[in-house]
Structure 1
Amino acid sequence: MIPTVRGACCTLGLLLFACGGTPAPEPSTTRGGAPPLPPVAANDLRAPEAFAGISDTTERSRALFTEASRVMLHPRCVNCHPAGDSPHQRDDMALHDPPVVRGPEDKGVVGMQCTSCHQERNPVLARVPGAPQWHLAPKTMAWEGRSAAAICAQVKDPARNGGKSLQQIVEHSGHDPLVGWGWSPGADRAPAPGSQAKFGALVAAWVATGAACPSDKSEKEAKR
């Protein structure tokens, strides 16, 4: 795909909320009378230890994914997890300019492959973003317009997550270089909150506690 000098996207891939994304949920009392979660800046993530006060393991697992979803729903990740055939760009998630399409393998079409312009790293003098194996997430992994609850169910489903096991999802989240681009996007792009290490730790803790998914109702409660 031919990028614009304003282009910016990533996959999880993965994957939510400095500029143009959802702000960090305000601290609130968790279910079961657990103490409030500590406050966190919009550009940071809570560590898994912050959820230790949630005694119910399933509720803790749901809360951990909700925190991790702040990365998945950030523009750096949603831009390359589109519901349509074209990537998005910038914090306002505008359609890619110039126009490009995903192609049969999510890597662009002949003559307009993603890697024709997106190299393996951000160039020093240009605004074109770059990371290894730059491409769109498949439509089955679309996150655009979806809630954390819907994305959680998708991430757990091998038929919709690229055939990955939960342990492979943990590895992918914490170590994949393309996912890592979200925290080093170059130019003046806002990075995803936290760091890849923090994100990977949250995903690992979510899996370790049963990989429970939040409900749309619980998401709204967490953001009060």
Structure 2
Amino acid sequence: MISLPRFGLFALIAAAIILPLSIARGGEASGLRPASAFAGIADRNARSVAIFTEMGKVLMSPRCLNCHPRTDSPTQGDAMLLHSPPVTRGPDGFGAAGMECATCHGPRNAPFGNGGGSVPGNDKWHLAPRSMAWQGLTLGQICAVIKDPKRNGGLSLDRIVEHNAKDDLVGWGWHPGPGRKPAPGTQAEFGALTRAWVETGAACPK
């Protein structure tokens, strides 16, 4: 039997209790820190930047970047490889004639028969507009694109909050099906961070 110092035993017990609670409450262990974690930053602009930087864990994950490509072809998987079979966005982001996204992507994820992965699915499956290409941009540049109504589809800051918090295609990022790592945290946490970012001035990292 291994003998542990009293302090070591207490530390193990504390970890066994606190870590699951942190995960259940959506704390840092879930992958995203809540907006309250940045309350100690006195400067409002710096706090806003810090909150957006936390949002960047989602925005710069493969679940987002794959559908915000720098070219007219999406990437796929956690390794962000070029989509196979080769496809192109088409006139409206839903694929070219005869090879629309919906040809393979149904309304929900479709696990492979061998259990080794899945074809992702959503009723609105499509590429982000060219103006919302994020791959290759810095987090600050992505922030500027998100804020610009000329590039974000005419969305106000309030509508961006709504989009991040409730849009079901955005939400797919946390339910990507077998073979893919979900985006960090939860959509609710991401939406709450977006709201806090807007309320602190929607500042962008440099």
Pair in the same fold by TM > 0.5: yes
Moved over 6 A (4+): none
| Structure 2 residue 152 is the aligned partner of structure 1 residue 161 | yes
How many pairs does the alignment contain? Answer: 176
Give the partner amino acid of 1:52.
A
- Higher normalized contact order (CA 8 Å, seq sep 6+, divided by chain length): 1
2:16 counterpart residue number = none
Alignment of structure 1 residues 36-185 onto 2, 5 Å? 40-41=28-29, 44-125=31-112, 127-185=118-176
Question: Structure 1: how far apart are the matches of 2:61 and 2:32?
Answer: 12
Deviation at 1:40, TM superposition (A): 3.8
TM-score (norm 1): 0.76
Structure 1: 5+ residue stretches without partners: 1-38, 216-224
Question: Structure 2: how far apart are the matches of 1:148 and 1:201?
Answer: 19
User: Larger radius of gyration, structure 1 or 2?
Assistant: 2
Task: Encode CA deviations 1:51-83: one digit per residue, 9 max, x unaligned.
Answer: 000011110001000100110100011000001
Higher helix fraction (1 or 2): 2
After superposing the two structures, state which structure 1 stretch, 100-109 or 117-126, moved more: 117-126
Deviation at 1:124, TM superposition (A): 4.5
Question: Structure 1: how far apart are the matches of 2:56 and 2:84?
Answer: 27
Give the partner amino acid of 2:105.
H
Judge conservation of contact 2:28–2:34 (CA < 8 Å) in 1.
Answer: no
Question: Structure 2: how far apart are the matches of 1:168 and 1:61?
Answer: 18
Q: What is the aligned-residue identity percentage?
A: 58
RMSD of the alignment, in Å? 1.3
Judge conservation of contact 1:132–1:177 (CA < 8 Å) in 2.
Answer: no
